[in-house]
């Protein structure tokens, strides 16, 4: 691969729609792994719209990312929680639920957790 790369999420290598039309994940493959842009629509909740695809009780992906727009609340299995909004860096361990806060879509970029996110369990 060349020493300089340009890709667009608008022409992602893969797009994974969420259940009930509540958003999508656009994935770009890089030499360092998958990078994703998630668009979580108002009303989206991991336990309702991704859990059936993941087949786990909570999200088991670790996330390292950045919120571009909108707001998302994350609650860990142990009850710890945080709300993220535009400009926030986020680092989240496996074992959590999450949902959109408010009536604006939440757009987030993630460098670690979207490689297999929202893929049906095999």
Domain contains 119: no
- Nearest-angstrom CA–CA distance, 109 and 38: 6
Q: What is the pLDDT of residue 113?
A: 84
Domain contains 95: yes
Q: What is the pLDDT of residue 122?
A: 57
Q: What is the pLDDT of residue 116?
A: 82
Count the domains in the chain: 1
Tens-digit pLDDT profile for residues 101-117:
999 999 999 999 888 88
Domain contains 64: yes
Domain contains 27: yes
Q: Which residues of the chain have pLDDT under 50?
A: 1
Domain contains 3: no
Domain contains 6: no
Domain contains 121: no
Q: What is the pLDDT of residue 2?
A: 63
Q: What is the pLDDT of residue 53?
A: 85
Q: What is the pLDDT of residue 82?
A: 98
For residue 90, the enclosing domain spans 14-110
Domain contains 59: yes
Domain containing residue 89: CATH number: 2.60.120.10
Tens-digit pLDDT profile for residues 91-104:
999 999 999 999 99
């Amino acid at each position: 691969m060349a020493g300089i790369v340009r890709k667009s999420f608008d022409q992602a290598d893969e797009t994974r729609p969420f259940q009930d039309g509540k958003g999508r994940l656009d994935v770009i493959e890089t030499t360092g792994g998958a990078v994703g842009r998630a668009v979580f629509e108002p009303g989206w909740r991991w336990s309702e719209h991704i859990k059936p695809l993941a087949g786990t009780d909570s999200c088991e992906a670790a996330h390292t990312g950045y919120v571009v727009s909108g707001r998302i609340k994350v609650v860990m299995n142990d009850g710890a929680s945080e709300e993220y909004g535009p400009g926030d860096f986020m680092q989240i361990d496996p074992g959590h639920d999450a949902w959109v806060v408010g009536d604006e879509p939440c757009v987030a970029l993630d460098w670690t957790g979207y490689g297999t996110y929202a893929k049906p369990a095999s």
